[in-house]
A and B are shown apart, each in its own frame.
Chain A
């Protein structure tokens, strides 16, 4: 009987260094128990400052109305909805990593899933701000809920994609939060049981819900995680599908396309992974977690980026081709004149998007570049800029010149309060992320331990040693039992 499960030596170790279980705990929990570094404080205060600027921008918008933004009769959706779709898209990588990769049994997810899920939750929180404050009379926001009221009762329109969005985003947020927190319980218990200060004992005592590590509890926990993963997989696909329905079910040229759902989902995963890269490259360095988030992890995510980036590229070309092939003059005008014509008012944004999302990720076909941290970091920023422009292109260039030339919009550019609101969500996102990185284990400790003996560098070396000594005996003792 063996518990050292055999894993091919061709596979790179997922945990570098010769670690044992205790060392894993030490490495990951240590940052929580130490005073944050000066860099942490600087980053945190900048985030809070941005957040406050965002709060003030929103305050102005609520006080003086949507007129604080540069929206006009033709462009009713500008930066605000662009930002909404962008943040929701970013929120897709966490669930993809934690759910879909769990179902596909990808061991490397354990290094990044916790932080990616946290990122998802914060990104969805940011996304939610935009449609809520866009309502103008935000104190009426509860009207989107179907509750018995004295106006009839007058119900919400269940046939409207905007209402589907309300359900999709709120369900996605709730389920992601539950998935994330149920995974956190055992790790919070680890922090609790190591705690020496009074505050930590108290705080993690409450936060860990009294987790003991009982075998029965683990059995249920495994069942829970698996079913939540199974539920989240179609959920994550549904969320951006429904966001794309906001556009696709309309009759606006440039929006009215059936390709939107898969195209949006691929784009969401693409931008989400880029954001995970941006964050993880910083986190692994600052918290000294290079042994757990290895170059192998970064390479794996870059492979996802080149795949989804190419899907997005295919989608861009397909919709362009269909706009021409479909012979609808309005559709073709939207694509040819409003977008692809470099000298039209927004042509630059279309080509910027093409460059960032389609051309630049192709660099990742090279293994050397996939494994280069500096290149990956810059690429992750470029991809996120590109994906923001994708949403901007879809939203603004489809509406600014509509069917009636007399109502064509003058050039739309945002006001400082529109930009301030966007910066404010960055503040919210990073404030949350800094607090998370300080007070919670950024890597799933228990999950790393469960793969340590198959994929840890030290254990893999031991296995190779055994294999060399007596291959036949090794096969019977280790490999044969690996799948039982």
Chain B
């Protein structure tokens, strides 16, 4: 996926109070927000940007029931089929005694699976190098990157961002690839919504 060059107009904000209306106006004007980089989770920003909900928790549930099933089938196979032991004449299928391990494996599968899925979806791993639009995005600035297409007049986008309250605006050219980040393909189009 290498080769192409993509252009981004990047604006920085230092206050969420300014950022939210700016996100709204940028989307209203029809520009495509590539991403907003923030130093901490800003609640409601994902909705304001029109991102869809994550289904990571559903994945977590699926991993969890995989853990439950693995534990139960394995232990019952061991104790009833493969090597049934007579322990004081007690039943081989001793379900209550298996609950602790079943529970632990449920939690283990779910947690490990979810973290791996999270890292996979967000392209996070040691030695991964990504494009960072602004070094202070992890400190105190909210950094908005707007993707430019062939038709975009970037001077216009820049002045638009300035008017929306951006502190510092510039244009960056980046080689296309996964290192600039993936985002929802079906970003919802802006529509007037209540609540933010």
- Chain A residues in the interface with B (C-beta under 8 A): 1-4, 20-22, 25, 146, 152-155, 157-159, 161, 163-164, 167-168, 171, 174-175, 178-179, 182, 185-186, 189-190, 192-194, 205-207, 209-224, 226-228, 231-232, 234-235, 238, 242, 245, 446-447, 449-450, 453, 484
Please state if A209 and B126 are interface contacts (CB–CB under 8 Å): yes
Q: Using CB atoms, name the residue of chain B closest to A187.
A: B138
Please state if B118 and A224 are interface contacts (CB–CB under 8 Å): yes
Separation of A4 and B125 alpha carbons in the complex (Å):
35
Please state if B37 and A214 are interface contacts (CB–CB under 8 Å): yes
For the complex formed, measure the closest distance between the CB of B196 and the CB atoms of chain A, giving whole angstroms.
Answer: 6
Q: Would you give 7 A-B contacts (Cβ < 8 Å), ordered by A? A: A21-B139, A159-B87, A167-B104, A186-B138, A212-B35, A214-B183, A220-B118
Given A214-B35, A224-B115, A219 and B139 contact (CB-CB distance below 8 Å):
no
With beta carbons under 8 angstroms apart, the residue of B51, B57, B128, B136 that contacts A216 is B51
Q: Which residues of B contact A206 (CB under 8 A)?
A: 126-127
Given A1-B196, A190-B39, A194-B139, A175 and B108 contact (CB-CB distance below 8 Å):
yes
Q: Using CB atoms, name the residue of chain A closest to B118.
A: A224
Please state if B114 and A210 are interface contacts (CB–CB under 8 Å): no
Given A158-B79, A217-B122, A220-B122, A212 and B132 contact (CB-CB distance below 8 Å):
yes
B16, B110, B111, B126, most chain A CB atoms within 10 A: B111
Please state if A213 and B82 are interface contacts (CB–CB under 8 Å): no
Please state if A2 and B17 are interface contacts (CB–CB under 8 Å): yes
Q: Does B155 contact A (CB under 8 A)?
A: no
With beta carbons under 8 angstroms apart, the residue of B105, B128, B196 that contacts A167 is B105
Separation of A157 and B98 alpha carbons in the complex (Å):
10
Q: Does B30 contact A (CB under 8 A)?
A: no
Please state if A174 and B108 are interface contacts (CB–CB under 8 Å): yes
Please state if B112 and A174 are interface contacts (CB–CB under 8 Å): yes
Identify 9 new A-B residue pairs, CB closer than 8 A, beyond the known A215-B42, A232-B107: A155-B79, A159-B98, A164-B104, A214-B181, A216-B181, A218-B38, A220-B54, A446-B40, A447-B40
Q: Which residues of A contact B174 (CB under 8 A)?
A: none
Separation of A189 and B115 alpha carbons in the complex (Å):
18
Please state if A218 and B136 are interface contacts (CB–CB under 8 Å): no
Q: Does B189 contact A (CB under 8 A)?
A: no
Please state if B40 and A450 are interface contacts (CB–CB under 8 Å): yes
For the complex formed, measure the closest distance between the CB of A133 and the CB atoms of chain B, giving whole angstroms.
Answer: 23
Q: Fill in one digit per residue for B1-43: 1 if any A CB lies within 8 Å of its CB, else 0.
A: 0000000000000001100110000000000000111111111
Q: Fill in one digit per residue for B143-160: 1 if any A CB lies within 8 Å of its CB, else 0.
A: 100000000000000000
Q: Using CB atoms, name the residue of chain B closest to A182.
A: B115
Please state if B118 and A182 are interface contacts (CB–CB under 8 Å): yes
Q: Using CB atoms, name the residue of chain B closest to A20.
A: B140
B38, B39, B126, B130, most chain A CB atoms within 10 A: B39
A146, A174, A211, A220, most chain B CB atoms within 10 A: A220
Please state if A164 and B101 are interface contacts (CB–CB under 8 Å): yes
Q: Does B45 contact A (CB under 8 A)?
A: yes
Q: Which residues of A contact B35 (CB under 8 A)?
A: 212, 214-216
For the complex formed, measure the closest distance between the CB of B29 and the CB atoms of chain A, giving whole angstroms.
Answer: 19
For the complex formed, measure the closest distance between the CB of B133 and the CB atoms of chain A, giving whole angstroms.
Answer: 8
Please state if A155 and B78 are interface contacts (CB–CB under 8 Å): yes
Given A193-B136, A220-B54, A228-B111, A171 and B38 contact (CB-CB distance below 8 Å):
no
With beta carbons under 8 angstroms apart, the residue of A20, A164, A171, A185 that contacts B124 is A185
Q: Which residues of B contact A222 (CB under 8 A)?
A: 41
Across chains A and B, which 8 residue pairs bring their CB atoms closest together, nearest first? Answer: A210-B128, A21-B140, A209-B124, A446-B40, A449-B40, A164-B100, A22-B140, A159-B97
Please state if B124 and A210 are interface contacts (CB–CB under 8 Å): yes
Please state if A484 and B196 are interface contacts (CB–CB under 8 Å): yes
Q: Using CB atoms, name the residue of chain A closest to B33.
A: A215
Please state if A178 and B138 are interface contacts (CB–CB under 8 Å): no
Please state if A227 and B79 are interface contacts (CB–CB under 8 Å): no
